[in-house]
Structure 1
Amino acid sequence: EENAGLVDVGDGKAVAFKIESHNHPSAVEPYEGAATGVGGIHRDIFTMGARPICALDSLRFGSLEKSRVRYLFDGVVRGIGDYGNSFGVPTVAGEVYFEDAYEGNPLVNAMSVGVVDIDYTARAAADTPGHHVVLVGADTGRDGIHGATFASAEIDEDSEEDRPSVQVGDPFTEKLLLEATLEAIREGVVEGIQDMGAAGLTSSAFEMCASSDTGMDLHLDRVPTRETGMTPYEIMLSESQERMLVVCEPGAEEALAEIYGKWDLNAQRIGTVTESGRVRT
């Protein structure tokens, strides 16, 4: 699967689009839950090589007569607006409904739309054994660990304990990641690229290999971390935001490091594509 859909609109252009929910994180930590939902959906667009041009949302809440619903509503709306405005992409349309059925579990759906020259699209693939695997973007921390499983759990009175599993986004770093990634794709040094979303490095590595019927050898001691003493388990499952996994030809990692370094971001080779059909750490 690719990170987002593409529609050829003629004249050498395509429109990239995707919609995704961030319901459970927004129910527990509405501001960061909604903000990182917006950040993640924009990353899905520019990993296709497209520049995001606008965002949309579809929201559902309980009755505003309830104080907790007002708290959730305020946090979600501010999270969506603050991340988009800081990133530089406006929210141009949306809808919101209030029904009692959504009191304990609001629905937060974010959509991003982008435009790309067809000649500069990118794929979430790791097609060629021997090619190098490079982690680009921000440092890896302990935030968001188990975020993927927590996002699918049932909300109950104990859900507040899951607050540490909600990711924390940085739209200013994502803006740097956007510009660096589009430059790297235009320069032709990216064979494949995958956003690190749910389950972090685990899902991005497995998804790229699954789409190409290949494998990867990953050296976790090479992953740039912002906290000391992180275990391999934590590194593989961290959902720290503003990170991508890139596959490139041998030797191209120097060009990647130069491009991402210009934007004050990491571009660290952490592995190699293999023929094994397995991801080995």
Structure 2
Amino acid sequence: MTRPAGSPVSERGLSVPVILLSGVIAAVLLLATVFAIRSLSGRFAPTRRNIENLLTERKFDEALSLVESEGTSLGDSSDVYVMAGKIWMAHAWQKMNEDRWRSYGRNEDDWFDLPEANKAEQLLLRAIELDREHADAHYYLGMLYMEKGWFSSAEVEFLEVLKVKPDDIRTRQNLGVLYTKMRRLELAKRELLRAHKIAPENPSIMKNLSFLYRFYLGRPDSAMLWANRYMNINPDDDLDIGVVRQELEEMMDRYPDLVPEEPLRWKKPRRFKARERTPFTGD
């Protein structure tokens, strides 16, 4: 039997190009499947990065399962307890957010009285038992105690961090916030200024200094100075930017002679010239 003219065919009657195309498609699908499996397995591998990602996504159960898995890459067991404590703290914050913080402070002996917060405390204390100088364990425990209203205990934990890491910005700043809550205002100023010296471009430190001078020290000149520096950085991701701007504008109106001489870059000029009303001619 004579084959018809055209493309060559296989013994089963399929053209060679079709067979080749099918093979290419199959290979691509196989590679895509392998890539998807690797990506999926990589996402759920017990690494610090994956745990942090799940924590950001508020998938607390999944994050805890990775922390507690045998193949975790977190290192020694103290790190495991710290990460687990951090997850339980985030869980407690989320629960309080859902409650809109209505129950916060009802227990005068424990303002942050939640099972999740208490679980976090147990885990962080266990981490410190294993490693007395674990800076992260002391830091998160200090943050937890500050929320609970246990200010003296929080101070102890923050100071433990600074013994190990004297230039730790977050601890210096939160120690300043803690001293503000304790009305130890000169110490609060000292710690916030130290933090600013270490991180001069940190807008959060500038904001806290502005609030300290504005609401606690009664120094509108210094309050405006720090608020202006904060606004010049333009930290759009900070939820307090509107509050700072409002306070700064009110102080500028109230104390015009104390407005800082530094540039007010946040007060951007109008992009277009304001339209003037055409004079009435009677025509």
Higher relative contact order (CA 8 A, sep 6+): 1
TM-score w.r.t. structure 1 length? Answer: 0.23
More helix by share: 2
Flag the structure with larger Rg. Answer: 2
TM-score w.r.t. structure 2 length? Answer: 0.23
